[in-house]
Amino acid sequence: MTMSEKMKEVPGIYLRDAELKAEDAITFKWRPNAKYIWAGGIAYSRFLEELKNGRIIARHCSECDRILVPPRMFCDQCFRATDEWVYVKDTGTINTYSVSYLDADANRIKDPILVAVIDLDGASEGVGILHYVDNVDPKDLYVGMKLKAVWKPEKERKGSVTDIAYFEPMKED
Amino acid sequence: MAFDKNTDPLKLHHVVGDMECDYIYTPGVAGDKFFKALRDEGKLLATPCEACKITYLPPRMYCERCFSELDKWIEAKPSGTVDTFTLVHEDRDGNKLPEPVPVAFIRIDRTDGGLIHQLRGVDSKAVKIGMKVKAVLKDKSRRSGGLTDIDHFAPA
C-alpha cells in the first residue's frame, strides 16, 4: 500500500498470524462475560404464544386499515397504537426468496437452504414473514408461488417461529 | 389504548444469549520483551530516550516526544513511590469485600512511568501518597508473562 509521495509503505512490523499463535509470544486471551436477554415485547410475545396453538396472530390498524404480522402494538405508518388482534391464515404467497448455498456458519453446502418472505393470506400486502421453504425444487420457486405452513407436532412447539418447521408449495385441489 | 408498563424482560417471551466476542490482546514488540523479562528473570525493563531525558516504563519502542526509535534497554529497580491510590470496596461483580483493597499507581524509581497494582502488607487507612513501596514477585514457577507476575507491592 502506497501511503504518500514520501512514504511508500506503512512503517513498522506487521504482526503475522504464525507469530500471534506462537507458543512464545505473550498474548492475553479473554472472553468477556457479555450476556443479553432479548425480550419480544407485548405483541411479539403474544405472536409466539399463539404459534404454540398452531395459529398466527396479527394486529389491525383501523387508521390505515392494514393488518400487521408479526404483530406490532404501534403502527409504523400512522404513528398511533394499533387497535385489535386478528388471526391470519397459515398460507401465503412468495414476496421474494433466496436460494442459499452457504449455511449459517458460511460453510458451502450442496443442498441449498431456501428462504422466502411470505405474504400471509389475511395480512396486508407487503407485510411478510421470513421463513424456510422446503419440499420443492429450487428451480421451481417463483415470486407469487402459493405456500402453506408445515407445523411441528404440537408437543414439540415451544413458542418460537420454528414451531412452523417450514413452508411448502400448496397442493392444487 | 394504554399499554401496561413493563420493564422486566423476563415477564415476556424472551431469549437469553451469550455474545461470544473472544479477543487476543498482544502487547507489541516492547511489551512482549517486558513481560518475558518479568516472567523469566524477574526484571522490570525500561527504555530511556537520552535526548528527551524520559525513561519509559512500561517500555515503548518510540519516544512519544521526539518520535525517535528507542533501542537501549535498561533494568529498573523494582521499587517506587505511590503516586496516587484508591480503596476498592467491591469486587468486579459488585460484592462487598471483607477488607478494602488499596490499588495504587506506583511510579517506578528513576523512570518516568509506573504501574497500577495492589498494595498489601499495609493497613488501608495508612496508605499515603509518596509512600515508598517495592514489588513482590510470584515464584518463578507461577509466573505466566503478565502484570500479575508481580503479586503485589508492599511497603519498602
Q: Is residue B6 part of a domain?
A: no
Identify the band that residue B137 occupies on the pLDDT scale cut at 50, 70 and 90.
very high
Domain that holds residue B102: 27-155
Confidence of residue A25 (pLDDT cuts 50, 70, 90): confident
Shortest Cα distance, chain A CAs vs residue B129, angstroms: 31
Asked if B146 and A32 come within 8 Å (Cβ–Cβ), the reply is no
Structural domain count, chain B = 1
Distance CA A116, CA A146 (A): 12
Does residue B18 sit within a domain? no
Tens of pLDDT, residues A105-162? 889 999 999 999 999 999 998 888 999 999 999 999 999 999 999 999 999 999 999 9
Residue-wise burial string across A143-159, b where 16 or more C-beta atoms lie within 10 A, e elsewhere: eebebbbeebeeeebeb
pLDDT at A173: 61
The proportion of chain A whose per-residue pLDDT surpasses 90, expressed as a percent, equals: 71
**CB-based contact B9 A37, cutoff 8 Å:** yes
* Minimal Cβ distance to A25: which of B1, B20, B32: B32
Instruction: State whether A42 and B4 contact (CB < 8 Å).
Output: yes
Is the CB of residue A35 less than 8 Å from the CB of residue B17?
yes
Q: Which long-range contacts (CB under 8 A, 24 or more apart) does A5-9 make?
A: none
Return the residue of B nearest to A84 by Cα: B1
The answer as to whether B22 is a domain residue is no
In a domain, B97, yes or no: yes
Q: Kindly list the residues from chain B whose CB atom is less than 8 angstroms away from the CB atom of residue A44.
A: 13
Q: For residue B73, what is the domain's CATH number? A: 2.40.50.140
* Distant-in-sequence, close-in-space partners of A171: CB < 8 Å, separation ≥ 6: A148
